[in-house]
Amino acid sequence: MDSVVLDTNVFVATGFNERSHSAQILKQVQRGEVRMIWNEETRDETRYILRKIPLLRWDEVTDLFNDRDRFTGTLDLNRYDYVDDAADRKFLALAEATGAALVSNDNHVLVHAERATVPVLTPSEFLAARCA
């Protein structure tokens, strides 16, 4: 699992606890140990949420969204209508389109992990899998 799609809540968790499992994953991305796959929609949501929460700063993570790991293909979000929160579907769709693991703290996504064709993991599960 060298490639991940990170749900926005991973960035939020990092902003509130720099020693969290989420923060450890972002540090691995910074060091180039893990590729963070993203597309315009996932980046835009992350930017929107981080700018919306006064204690968090978009400019501290913007460099993680590098062009090398950007996905520019089309995603079929309709395949994921079983995910209750429509805003979460793009993360699962992107992970499956690229073969990356999806890392999330969101129960709307995690409850459907068994339906996914890629690993859908919490930050702690992702870190444990990398160490195994």
The domain ranges of the chain are: 3-131
What is the homologous superfamily of the domain 3-131 according to CATH? 5'-nuclease (3.40.50.1010)
- By percentage, how much of the chain surpasses pLDDT 70? 99
Residue 7 near residue 91, CB atoms below 8 Å = yes
The Cβ of residue 92 has, within 10 Å, a number of other Cβ atoms equal to 28
| 113: number of Cβ within 10 Å | 16
CA separation for the pair 108, 38 (Å, rounded): 20
| CA–CA distance, 71 with 46 (Å, rounded to integer) | 16
> Of 4, 28, 19, whose CA–CA distance to 119 is shortest?
4
- pLDDT of the residue at 123: 97
pTM, to two decimals: 0.94
List the chain residues with pLDDT less than 50: none
Predicted local confidence at residue 11, as pLDDT: 97
Q: What is the pLDDT of residue 1?
A: 56
Element (H, E) at 45: helix 40-52
